Chains A and B, each alone.
Chain A
């Protein structure tokens, strides 16, 4: 059994109060919310995201419950390869931030696939540890990668062992997790989170 974090030990699955500490427009379609929760930082998503998008203002208190499970969680394993498609980057950025704050020397790379310039979430946080690719319309002055993720892009990230976290649409995750297997990752060390479209 995996070791539980202090928060999980303290309050597995219990309701807690969070405060919306900051709201930041990321793209025309995406806002990010910073929630302050005692001993816990996370983003709610899914059913409630329209509520967050349209209603919540800074200073609001919201009810949150969790964390529910302890699976798509990075616990300092190394090296780390993160692969995100579209808004699938969100949980991965939490890992990037945690690493930046706590163990900046630890090898962690992010491969991030978006359709067009407007879709880049966390644009001002992406640094040399990110390999970004545009699948449809790159910005006019873009000289970096274009097209869907492939073996070359994974190779450029330079992590071929350790632990992999993959998040995105189902099709994206199928492709990306296969690329990680091909690159040599142990299947037990590839963790995935998927969202629609549904099959």
Chain B
């Protein structure tokens, strides 16, 4: 930018020192839980809800809400980072590790697309869903996940920007190539690592 500086611009918000090493570059600490959704909030009844793993898999799998409830759940304390610059630190979800779901389906491709009720999609390498890095969660802070935050179930991939954690998630499609999802086609970064500030296409 040729050393050009906007006159009088004060720069970023202050970060509490004890939290500095948990906050990726350009982020600020948010105590609330902002809602960001591109369209109307879908209504998904648990009676109609299913979760699928399909695409390039050895065996397509589908769970109803009741079947899903029989899977091994765990608490997931984590920090989440939204590309719009807020981070929520030390928050706890509860859900099923994606490892459990993928293992059941025997994935054969290296990429995955999360797809949601309402049409949202987001893509990522399948290894970012493995080894305890991702969950399908149904609770937040001990309560059923609110609808506006993706209830009854959303993906949780806390090491990537939070648009990579699809709300109202309906399944995972395993693919042999990377295919941009909803925001990835509209200017957001293909991968979205908050520690590398991969927000937009040219980052």
Do residues A198 and B32 form an inter-chain contact, with CB atoms below 8 A? yes
Contact residues of A between 40 and 87, Cβ < 8 Å to B = 46-48, 51, 55-56, 60-63, 67-71
Say yes or no: B4 contacts A13, CB within 8 Å: no
Choose among A15, A46, A188, A198 the residue with the greatest number of B CB atoms under 10 Å from its CB: A198
The answer to whether the Cβ of A190 comes within 8 Å of any Cβ in the partner chain is yes
Known: A12-B201, A47-B13, A71-B186. A198 touches B30 (CB 8 A): yes
Q: Are B201 and A199 in contact (CB under 8 A)?
A: no
The listed residue with most A CB atoms (<10 A of its CB), out of B6, B10, B186, B202, is B6
CB distance from A43 to the nearest CB of B (A): 15
How many Å from the CB of A20 to the closest CB on chain B? 10
**Contact of A198 with B202 in the complex, beta carbons under 8 Å:** no
Residue of A nearest to B200 (CB): A13
Report the nearest B residue to A63, measured CB to CB: B6
CA of A46 to CA of B8 in the docked complex: distance in angstroms? 17
B187–A55 CB distance below 8 A: no
Residues of A within 8 A of B7 (CB): 55-56, 60-62
Interface size, B (range): 35 or more
Chain A residues, Cβ within 8 Å of B149? 199
In the complex, chain B residues 183-203 whose Cβ is within 8 Å of any chain A Cβ: 183, 185-188, 199-203
Report the tally of A-B residue pairs with Cβ distances under 8 A.
106
CB of B200 within 8 A of CB of A12, answer yes
Instruction: Determine chain B's interface SS by DSSP, over half rule.
Output: loop
Question: How many whole Å from B113's CB to the nearest CB in chain A?
Answer: 15
Closest-CB distance, B102 to chain A (whole angstroms)? 28
Interface-side segment among B33-41, B52-60, B130-138? B33-41
Taking CB atoms, residues of chain A closer than 8 Å to B30 are 198
- Chain B residues contacting A181 (CB-CB under 8 Å) are 40
Also in contact, A174 and B200, with CB within 8 A (given A51-B8, A69-B183): no
Please give, as numbers and ranges, the residues of chain B lying within 8 Å of A13 by CB-CB distance: 187, 200-203
Q: Of B6, B41, B84, B201, which is within 8 A of A177 by CB?
A: B41
CB-defined contacts of B84 to chain A, threshold 8 Å:
46
Q: Is the CB of B200 within 8 A of A178?
A: no
Given contacts A69-B188, A178-B40, A199-B149, contact A170 B35 (CB under 8 A): yes
Report chain B residues within 8 Å CB of A61: 4, 6-7
B187 touches A12 (CB 8 A): yes
Tell me which residues across on chain B come within 8 A of A177, comparing CB atoms.
Answer: 39-41
Q: Tell me if B25 is interfacial: C-beta within 8 Å of chain A.
A: no
Residues of B within 8 A of A34 (CB): none
Complex contacts, B148 vs chain A, CB 8 Å: 170, 174, 199
CA of A198 to CA of B203, assembled, Å: 28
Collect the chain A residues with CB atoms within 8 Å of residue B32's CB: 196-199
Within 8 A of B (CB), among A141-183: 170, 174, 177-178, 180-181
Q: Could you tell me the distance between the alpha carbons of A196 and B84 in the complex, rounded to whole angstroms? A: 13
B69 at the interface (CB under 8 A from A): no
A60–B7 CA distance with the chains assembled, in angstroms? 7
What is the bound-complex CA distance between A188 and B116, given in angstroms?
A: 13
A115 at the interface (CB under 8 A from B): no
The 8 closest A-B CB pairs, nearest first, are A198-B32, A69-B187, A13-B200, A177-B40, A55-B8, A62-B6, A13-B202, A69-B186
- 13 contacting pairs across A/B (C-beta < 8 A): A12-B200, A12-B201, A55-B8, A63-B4, A69-B186, A174-B41, A188-B119, A192-B37, A198-B30, A198-B33, A198-B34, A199-B33, A199-B149
Q: A47-B12, A51-B8, A55-B7 are in contact. List 5 more A-B contacts (CB 8 A).
A: A13-B202, A46-B84, A69-B187, A69-B200, A192-B38
